[in-house]
Each structure stands twice: as C-alpha cells, then as structure tokens.
Structure 1
Amino acid sequence: MRKLVLALLGIAVVAPPQSRAQSQLSPSAKVAFDVASIKPNTSGDRRTGMSPSRGRFSATNVTLRQLIQNSYLLQDFQIVGGPSWLNSARYDIEAKGNGGPGPEFQVMVQSLLADRFQLRIHRETKTLPIYVLLADKNGPRVKLAPSCVGETSPTNPCGGLTVTPRGDLIGRSVRMEQFAGNLSFLLHRTVLDKTELSQTYDLDLHWAPDEATYFSLGGSGAPSLDPNRPEIFTALREQLGLTLRAQKGPVSVLVIDHAVPPTEN
C-alpha cells in the first residue's frame, strides 16, 4: 500500500500488477475482522487513504469502487457494473482483527464488503480495447540499468517505479512488463509488453497528465500542470523510443451483481 501512503506526500509508488501476489483465499474461507466501523464521509475532500497494518485496517474518504479495486487487486477498468453511487459515496472505515497485510488480509476486506455492503460479484473475460507496447520504428531509447540490489531509497526504490501527480515517472532497474503494468494504471486500459526488451532498465518519463490522473496519483488542490509538456503517447515516443498500438484483446473483469449502502455504526 505504499502508493496510498505516499499519495499524502504528493508522490505515488504504483505497484505493478504483475508483481502483486494474487490471493489464494476467498471470502468463503470466513476470514473476517472482529469489529468494523463504517461511516459516511461528506467532507468533499478528494484525497483518499488506505492503511493496512497488523491487526488493523483504516480507510479514509474511500468509495466502494476503490475498496473493491484494492482488496481484489484490480485496475479500475476491470470493475464492471454496480450501483450509481459506486464512485460517489465515500466512507471512513476502521476495522480490527488478527493478521497483517497480505492475501489473508485482502480476504478480510473482501468479507467486510460482502457483509456490510452485501457485495455480490462474479468474474468474466471480456474482449476490450487494449494497448500493445512496442519499440518505436526508430528504435528504443531506454537505458540499461546498473545493478542496484541491496540499495534502499524511500522515493526511488530499486526495481520500482515512482510517479508524481505532475506527470513524472522514474523507474530504477525495472522490466518492460512491469512498466507496461504501470501504464495500464495510468491509461485505464490493459497494456501488453511486446517490446522484446528483456533486460532491466532505468526509465525517466515526463508528460502532462489529465486532471483525473492528477488526483488519482495523490494530487490535491487545483492542478498546477505544465502546459508545455507533451501528452503521454508523444512523451513515450520522444523520450523512451516506445509506442502504443491500440487493438482489442481478452481482459479479466469483475462484474458487480449487487451492492447496498452500509448501515452506519
């Protein structure tokens, strides 16, 4: 959950989907919090936060969509259907129980959603628009990364990507499939790596994000964006020698069958 914690500082470390451990449990395993409080948040603030720790889960100003996305490890575009208030009604949650962050903790949040929001879901595979990440016709401009194993940095970790609300992405010793996963988050569409670049690379990308992306990356207040920066497709081509090609492909989605607002306690 580093992305959500650092979002409060204006920096987001976006965990690549490929590196996230998928839960081996399900809500039917009856793993649940001992006690949970859910209250509406009507502050009007657009900032959100989720903080799982051993024995505790705290969420501030979150929507049901965000809770589903984080507990099921999904991108936003992989959630289909749901009630009209899915993206608008916001809640503060305090829950306590045994265990800490990890697959079991994810299932505890899933169980909380099933119990308090009466969330019912199923999974499907749909043919949807996707992007394919390719080397540009003039060749890639990415830099091979020196080894950074054992190095530590809170804002620019080895093997990770750091993204700011202003549209600055820095990657240290990352693989292209990992970068493609992060582009999926930024573009709200599955991105498949077809670059044939098999090493680890240092990446430096600067573009002009739209307002929605600015806030999703932890921006607050009125966006102050550089109008001279290119949009992300141009930035990829000019700065990294990479290009995105639009096509259609199979995408796993989670379909919301039923949900109701929780009773306040």
Structure 2
Amino acid sequence: MKRLLSVLGMFCVVSAVALAQEKPATKPSFVIADVHDSPYARQVYSVGGPMHGDRYNLRQSTLVDIIALAYGVKPEMVQGGPSWLEMRRFDVVAKADPKTSEADQKLMLQSLLAERFGLVMHKGEAPLPAYVLTAPGGKTKMKQSPEDAERNCKPQNGQEMAGGAPLNVISCSGFSADEIATLLAQVANNYLPDPVLNQTRLEGKWEFTIKWTDMRQRAKAGAEAVSIFNSVQNDLGLMLERKTAPRPVWIVDRASETPTPNSPAVAKELPPLPMPQFEVSTIKPSGPNSKPGGMIRNGQMTLSMIPIKFLLTYAWDFNPNDPQMIVNMPAWIETDKFDIVAKAAMPEPVAGQLPPQIEDRELRLMLQQLLMERFNMKVHMEERPIEAYTIYADHPKLKAADPTSRTHCKEGPGPDGKDPRQANPMLTALFTCQNVSMRELAAQLAEFATGYVYTLPVDATGLTGRYDLTMAWSSASLTVLKPPPAPGQPVSSDPDGAVTLDEAMHSQLGLKMVKTKRPVQVLVIDHVEETPTAN
C-alpha cells in the first residue's frame, strides 16, 4: 500500500511537472498602448507596423489589418467575426524596448488584440474566391525548359500593339507551374484581385511568352483588347478561371468593437513625438530645361515644373480634381511652375529595425509649414457652400444583405465572379460591396470614385437597410465629353460605350446622384507671395 501511495505520489509530481511544461508561455506585451478610433481621412489605408525607436505605430487600420499583421497572414485569410471588422479603423501607438525583434512585435500585437479587443480566434478552412490555373487534358502550348534552367523574365513592352494600345509582353523561362501562377498574380493584379492557384498538375520547368492589354489601356485598345484570360489561353494553352477553393484561414469567434480604455499613464508614457522638419529645402521657378515629374516618398520630395496648387491640394489632402476647395487663389498658383527639392531630417536608425519612415500625414503637415514659410502664406479653414453630391432613391435595385456578413467594399467582381469589363473595354471600374448601409456606400464612393466624387456625398435615400451590390463604370477621363441627358429625359447608358458614375448608379442600382450646394470646409488663402524667400 505504501509503495502504491509512493508511486501515485511520484505520478502526481511528474504529472504536475508535465502540465507545467505544457502550459503555453505567456506572450510578450507592449509596455503601454494607446488605441483609439482613427481620425477622418479622405483616402484610407493601413500604414505602419515596424518599430521606430521605442514606438510601434499603426494608422487607419481595421481589425482585419491588425490581425493579419499580428499573425503574418493576408487579410483575406481572416474570416468570420462581426460585421464591422473591415470597416471601423483604429490607430495604435505602443511602446516597447527598441531592440524588440520583429517576431516579438507580432506576439505583442497578438497580446494587444486579446487584451484590448477580447479577440478569440481558431484555425479552420473556408472556400474563398481564387483564380484557378488549369491545363485541360494535361496539355500546354508552353515549351519545356531544362531542369537546371534558371528562372528569368524579359519584358518587351511597347513593341506590339492591340488596337490603339500597347501590349504588355513578357518572355520567361525556367518557371514551374506554381511560379507561373505567382507571376500572373503579380503582373496582372488589376485583372486578378484574388490569389492565383496552380492546379495544372504540370511538372518541370517551362518557357513561354505572354501578351495582354493592361486593364487601364483596354478603352484605347477597344475590341482588339487582349485580356489576361485570353492571353493565358492563347499563349500558354492554359485556362484561368475564377472559382472558389478551400484554403486555411483564421476564423474570428469573438471581438469587441470598443477596445478597453487606455491607461491613464498614456499621456505621460506616450507623449507626441516632435514633428519632423525639412532639413534641406530649395524652391525655385522652373527653368527652360526643367521637365515635369518627380517623386514624393518617405520624407523626400523631388518635383519639377509643379504648380503650387498641386502642393496645396496634397498638403491639405484635397481631391486634386476639385476646383472648389481652395478659395481666394491667385491665378499664378495654377500657372507658375516651380522646382522643389526637400529632405526631412531622419532619426538615427536602430540596429535590427527597418529604416525610419515619415508618415504621409506628417509629410503633409511639413509641406504646409514649408509653403507658409517660403511663400509668406497665411490661410484659414472655413465653411463655404460648394457643389457636392447627394444620393436619392429613385427605383432601388438593391439586394438585401445577410446582416451577419462582414461589411466591406472592394475593387473587383462580386460572388458570382462576373466581370462586365471583359465585354465592354470602356468600363474601367468594378465596385463590389457587401452588407453596406447607404451612408457607408456614400463614404466608399468618395474613396473609390475620386474622378467623380470630390467631397463626401450625403445620403438622402431614406433607405435604412443593408445591401449587397456590384456596379461598373468608366473613368471620368473617358466620359468627360459625354453630354448630360436633356432636361426631363432619363439617364441612359450605351451598353458598348462609356458609362458615367451617375449613369451606373441609376441604371444598375436605381439611385440618383444630384449635385447640390451645401457648406463644406474649404481652404481660404488670406495672403501669399508669388516669389518664394531665398534658399
């Protein structure tokens, strides 16, 4: 009996040790984190991620963006969860040891998601849209490459035409079928918004030439446009079709829309960092040898033959197509051209971290300051009546959404995979939304249809439901000469021609877009001098 008790005692001790060993290690956490709703931005996209010094910053990020970053997956691999997961945006400012590894930064972000949003997920599998590459009958028009052939591609763009547009031409060798699928997803991403999966069952390496019309050039090419789908079939002898395919995913079981409150110590522990400054800047009138162009990237601007109006619209984040947002603007601001070189003072890089980055919103503020100093400019913001769209219901053609589905809008086909741009090259935009309110649709149009919509539209439809919709239209540059309908005549569109956004809204959704005057915050120039101060 004593021996049995002794054995049981030893078993309990060993079991306790085993359980202690099996208990998952606690994930590291940020020292402190400020999590709050993102401020309004005209165009929104998630930015940030890598640490700079002791700060970890994310801006304009949905919870899907944050989960994808934390777990090292693509956003489409995050499925399930509440409807707001892809729409509500957050800023995250967190503090950690500057030497924190990238792997530990992800673990810290995982901890933040669990602690602040109550995130619970599990791994699973889900059928997701994908473009599937197959070889009917196991045959192909490609040539076999030697097994030791190195992977190589040579672009030959501009050498061949289809209609009035150049063809994209790439000749490649040494590619496996998997690598061909990856290549197609990279070079033709405006045709292929979803992943390309190889199901050809082709072995070995291959050489081939593929020729297609860029999606943005299809209107110029007209009926002779060659889609990537035609090219894959005609040049490679393969089929590329949009289907659904099971893929491993993370499934969100639970997440709180409102994060837990920030610590009272946030203000002390995470004070705002000093605003970056341009350490070097030169502004001078463009000379006879200047050529238009340049770049704006990571705190650096090199611009040539640029009107000051362009800089104003960029600095104050206005739609550059809208002539109403800057008031009291002297004529020379649009006509005089300048060459500008400006470089921000960058913080010292930290070993093991990516080089420091200047956020876009910081660069805009820096440019505002530069313009005001160098052109002795004084401005203020005030409300003025301007023309902007209001959306009304006419004869709605809207499909009621599943209220439990995730709310999102994207460029590309809907669940049925149909793409009207293939039949009508004049259609350049394909817009799909799921489970959106009319107010959310209005906000998304301001982001996706910037050639038409300059200011956030107002929803006056009176529709209170949530809807799924798909809509296609032509870029504003293709419809600028299209006359408006005669008074009292319905909006109509030519099935083989350009379709304005107004026409698409009316014919495809049964909604009307009407320009009306309403007060909007504009930039008023009180004083500006034509000659900049000396460099």
Common fold, TM-score beyond 0.5? yes
Partner residue in 2 for 1:191: 457
How many Å apart are 1:92 and its aligned residue? 2.9
Q: Secondary structure at the match of 1:176?
A: helix
Q: Larger C-alpha radius of gyration, 1 or 2?
A: 2
Distance 2:318 2:502 in 1: 23
Distance 1:205 1:62 in 2: 31
Q: Structure 1's 206 and 59: CA in aligned 2 closer, same or farther, altered over 3 A?
A: same
Task: Give the alignment of 1:85-104 within 5 angstroms.
Answer: 85-97=332-344, 98=346, 100-104=358-362
Q: Structure 1's 187 and 103: CA in aligned 2 closer, same or farther, altered over 3 A?
A: closer
Question: Do the aligned partners of 1:176 and 1:200 also contact (CA within 8 Å) in 2?
Answer: no
Partner residue in 2 for 1:52: 297
Q: Deviations over 1:18-64 (max 9, x none)?
A: 63889xxxxxx8753000122334679997565222x3223343221
Partner residue in 2 for 1:210: 480
Q: Structure 1's 47 and 148: CA in aligned 2 closer, same or farther, altered over 3 A?
A: farther
Partner residue in 2 for 1:161: none
Q: Secondary structure at the match of 2:367?
A: helix
Return 189-198 or 31-40, whichever deviates more: 189-198
Amino acid at match of 2:42: P
Question: Do the aligned partners of 1:134 and 1:242 also contact (CA within 8 Å) in 2?
Answer: yes
Partner residue in 2 for 1:17: 42
Task: Give the alignment of 1:232-251 within 5 angstroms.
Answer: 232-251=501-520
How many Å apart are 1:205 and its aligned residue? 1.6
TM-score normalised over the length of structure 1: 0.63
Question: Do the aligned partners of 2:294 and 2:301 also contact (CA within 8 Å) in 1?
Answer: no
Amino acid at match of 1:101: E
Match of 1:36 among 233, 256, 281: 281
Q: Secondary structure at the match of 1:19?
A: coil
Tell me whether 1:78 sits opposite 2:333 in the alignment.
no
TM-score normalised over the length of structure 2: 0.34
Q: Deviations over 1:212-237 (max 9, x none)?
A: xxxxxxxxxxxxxxx94244433331
Match of 2:312 among 48, 56, 68: 68
Task: Give the alignment of 1:131-142 within 5 angstroms.
Answer: 131-135=389-393, 137-140=394-397
How many Å apart are 1:206 and its aligned residue? 2.5
How many Å apart are 1:132 and its aligned residue? 0.5
How many Å apart are 1:142 and its aligned residue? 7.5
Structure with the bigger RCO (C-alpha within 8 Å, sep 6+) is 1
Q: Structure 1's 255 and 242: CA in aligned 2 closer, same or farther, altered over 3 A?
A: same
Partner residue in 2 for 1:177: 442
State percent identity of aligned pairs. Answer: 23
Distance 1:190 1:44 in 2: 40
Task: Give the alignment of 1:109-188 within 5 angstroms.
Answer: 109-135=367-393, 137-140=394-397, 168-173=428-433, 175-182=440-447, 183=449, 185-188=451-454
Q: Secondary structure at the match of 2:335?
A: coil
Q: Secondary structure at the match of 1:17?
A: coil
Q: Structure 1's 189 and 177: CA in aligned 2 closer, same or farther, altered over 3 A?
A: closer
How many Å apart are 1:147 and its aligned residue? 6.6
Question: Do the aligned partners of 1:48 and 1:60 also contact (CA within 8 Å) in 2?
Answer: yes
Question: Do the aligned partners of 1:190 and 1:251 also contact (CA within 8 Å) in 2?
Answer: no
Question: Do the aligned partners of 1:131 and 1:192 also contact (CA within 8 Å) in 2?
Answer: yes
Partner residue in 1 for 2:195: none
Q: Deviations over 1:47-103 (max 9, x none)?
A: 7565222x3223343221111111111233211112111111222322111351333
Amino acid at match of 1:35: V
Question: Do the aligned partners of 1:133 and 1:180 also contact (CA within 8 Å) in 2?
Answer: no
Q: Structure 1's 188 and 71: CA in aligned 2 closer, same or farther, altered over 3 A?
A: same
Q: RMSD over aligned Cα, in angstroms?
A: 4.2
Q: Which residues of structure 1 form unaligned runs of 5+? A: 1-15, 23-28, 157-165, 212-226
Count matched residues.
217
Question: Do the aligned partners of 1:131 and 1:191 also contact (CA within 8 Å) in 2?
Answer: yes
Q: Which residues of structure 2 form unaligned runs of 5+? A: 1-40, 46-58, 61-273, 347-356, 413-425, 435-439, 482-495
Distance 2:289 2:452 in 1: 24
Distance 2:340 2:363 in 1: 15
Amino acid at match of 1:17: R
Partner residue in 1 for 2:83: none
Tell me whether 1:254 sits opposite 2:513 in the alignment.
no
Q: Structure 1's 85 and 133: CA in aligned 2 closer, same or farther, altered over 3 A?
A: same
Question: Do the aligned partners of 2:431 and 2:472 also contact (CA within 8 Å) in 1?
Answer: yes
Distance 1:44 1:132 in 2: 46
Distance 2:318 2:517 in 1: 19
Q: Structure 1's 132 and 44: CA in aligned 2 closer, same or farther, altered over 3 A?
A: farther
